[in-house]
Every structure is written in structure tokens, then in C-alpha cells.
Amino acid sequence: SEIKGFKTIQTEISSKQKNLKTLHQLFVKEHVNYTNDPATPSGRTLFLLNLPVDATQQDIKKFFGSAGKVLTVDFKSSNSHKLNSSINKSTTPTEKALRHLFQPNDSTQFNVPGNFALVVFLEEEGLKKVFKWGNKVQKWELQRLETNQIGLNFFKKQYQEERVDMDKLTVFVNEYISELEKHKAKQEKIQLKSSNEPDEDGFVTVSYTNSNKGASNDGITVKAFKADEVIEVKKKEQSSFYRFQTRENKRDQLAQLRSKFEEDKKKIANMKAKRQFKPY
């Protein structure tokens, strides 16, 4: 049978560890190589959907090996593809150095629903034989995983593998800081050498360092002038010289305060008059 361009393969899954048999459907079609990727050649690559969650590469190789020699089995998923593409976009030396620290080690990966695989045969005849299976039920014996590789134990192991190894991280940080200090010392030597040499016009840039952290890149020390100091200077400049001027200034300030007080009283009276809710 066929569903939306996919042919269905009926399988009967069994295992050596447990005397159980399960019917399972696989959905397959020929992979279309739009990008001309040599790893997935046209006519020899099978696109496979609805994998058993605990199926491994060896299980799939063994199952399709009855149709023809299988070269590679590559598990894919939309989420992992996005993650890998974002990681591979890292271009800076730091990102490239960190990449191996944050990528989990190779381990058994369960295939959540929606994941797929690409099966590459050695010859085109292998792909053709798969499509000739039709509705015949194919026997499939999975190599079941040990109990410490499934369930909660599996996710514990996966969590531990995804954590960054602290020893490796410490070594990386120490090396990075060491390289940074070397680079900084090298830049200082270059700057010191260039500061003592005349430029094209014959001028020599004089530079020096002091406790004030205000030196610019060209060696000229600039101390920031605080806004508070400017205000203080202005106040001193505008201060009254004679006593009568001081008394007049104080009288004017009191008059302004009285005037503001009367205005506020009027505003409060108007607010009380306009207030609709009058509790008393």
C-alpha cells in the first residue's frame, strides 16, 4: 500500500531477550538528492520514516541487508539538524575550540516520533528489492539494549554526557587566558616601539602611564572633568559679593516660597470643591 508517496512495509519485530512479537509499519520512499550530496546518491538512497524508538544502525543494516548490501545508515531529525547547523556556523577561534566541549559524546539515541533515517545501498538493485516486498510481513529481530541503557538509566547517562567536563573546561580556560596574556604583552611591545619612533611627519608620540586610568590609545592622558565640579565652579562665580545682595536674595526666596504656598492652598481648595464624594 501507499500513503502520501510513501510505501508501507509491514514488519514483525521480535527480540532474543523477551519472547514478544510486535507488528510495526515502516514508511519508505526513494530519497531525492536535491543538493547533490555524494553521501546520499540518487537511485541508491532510501528515505525511512516511523522507526522503532530503540532501533540502532546495526538493526537497520541487518534488516535491509536482505535486500542488498547496505553501506551507511544515517539517523536524522529536524531538531538535531537545526542544532548541528547552528553549532557548525561558529566561525571564531573561541567558538571552534569550545565546540568539542559542548557536544555530547556518541551514545545510543532513541528515535522520537518524527525522526527519519537515510539508508544507502551499495547498488541500485537493493533499493528496487525493498519496493518489491509489497504487503508481505518482514521478520525483524532487534538487538534489545541492556537494562542500564534504557528508561531512566538511559536519560541519566545522556544528561551526564551532555554536561561539560570540568577538567577539560579548566584546561581550555587556562590555555585561553595564557594566550590572551601573551597577545596583550605583544600588543604593548608593539605600541611602545611605535610610540618612540617618528611618524611620517617626523613627530614622536610621547606616552606615559600613571595611576589615573584616563589614557587614550594614542598615549595622551585625558582626565575626565566631572559635571559636579563644573556646577560648583558656576555657583562660586555667581555668589553675591556684598551683604545687602545676600539679604535681598534671601528676601526674594522667601517671597517666592510664600507665593508658591498661596498657590498650592488655592489648588487644594479647588480640588475639594470639585470633589463629588463628600464623606462629611
Q: How many helices (H) and strands (E) does the chain have?
A: 8, 7
Picking from 144, 130, 132, the residue whose alpha carbon sits closest to that of residue 63 is 130
Residue ranges of domains in the chain: 2-162, 165-221, 227-268
Domain 2-162, CATH homologous superfamily name and number: RRM (RNA recognition motif) domain (3.30.70.330)
Task: Kindly report, residue by residue over 216-241, the tens digit of the pLDDT.
Answer: 444 444 445 455 555 555 555 555 56
Segment among 6-15, 85-94, 95-104, 269-278 with least mean pLDDT:
85-94
The residues near 173 (Cβ < 8 Å, ≥ 6 apart) are none
Q: What are phi and psi of 7, to 5 degrees?
A: -85, 145
pLDDT score for 129? 92
Query: pLDDT band for position 147 (50/70/90)?
Result: low
Contact (CB, 8 A) for 77 and 148? no
- Check pLDDT > 90 for residue 200: no
Supply the mean pLDDT for the chain.
Answer: 75
Query: pLDDT band for position 146 (50/70/90)?
Result: low
- Check pLDDT > 60 for residue 184: yes
Task: Kindly report, residue by residue over 19-38, the tens digit of the pLDDT.
Answer: 778 888 899 999 988 888 88
The amino acid that residue 21 corresponds to is K
How many beta carbons lie within 10 A of that of residue 145, not counting itself?
A: 17
C-alpha cell read off for 71 = 553501506
pLDDT score for 101? 54
Task: Kindly report, residue by residue over 60-118, the tens digit of the pLDDT.
Answer: 899 999 899 999 998 876 544 444 444 445 455 555 555 555 554 444 555 555 578 89
Residue recorded with cell 604593548: 188
Q: Could you tell me which residue, 183 or 148, shows the higher pLDDT?
A: 183
The residues near 139 (Cβ < 8 Å, ≥ 6 apart) are 11, 12, 14
Strands 70-76 and 138-142: unpaired
**Could you tell me the end-to-end alpha-carbon distance of the chain, in angstroms, rounded to an integer?**
87
C-alpha cell read off for 159 = 544528561
- Check pLDDT > 50 for residue 11: yes
Angle of helix 93-102 relative to helix 166-195, nearest 10 degrees, comes to 170
Task: Kindly report, residue by residue over 237-259, the tens digit of the pLDDT.
Answer: 555 567 778 888 888 889 999 99
Give the rounded percent of residues in the chain with a pLDDT score beyond 70. 63
- Cα separation, 104 vs 155, whole angstroms: 13
Query: pLDDT band for position 45 (50/70/90)?
Result: very high
Contact (CB, 8 A) for 92 and 33? no
- Cα separation, 89 vs 262, whole angstroms: 70
pLDDT score for 80? 45
Q: Could you tell me which residue, 190 or 254, shows the higher pLDDT?
A: 254
- Cα separation, 180 vs 25, whole angstroms: 57
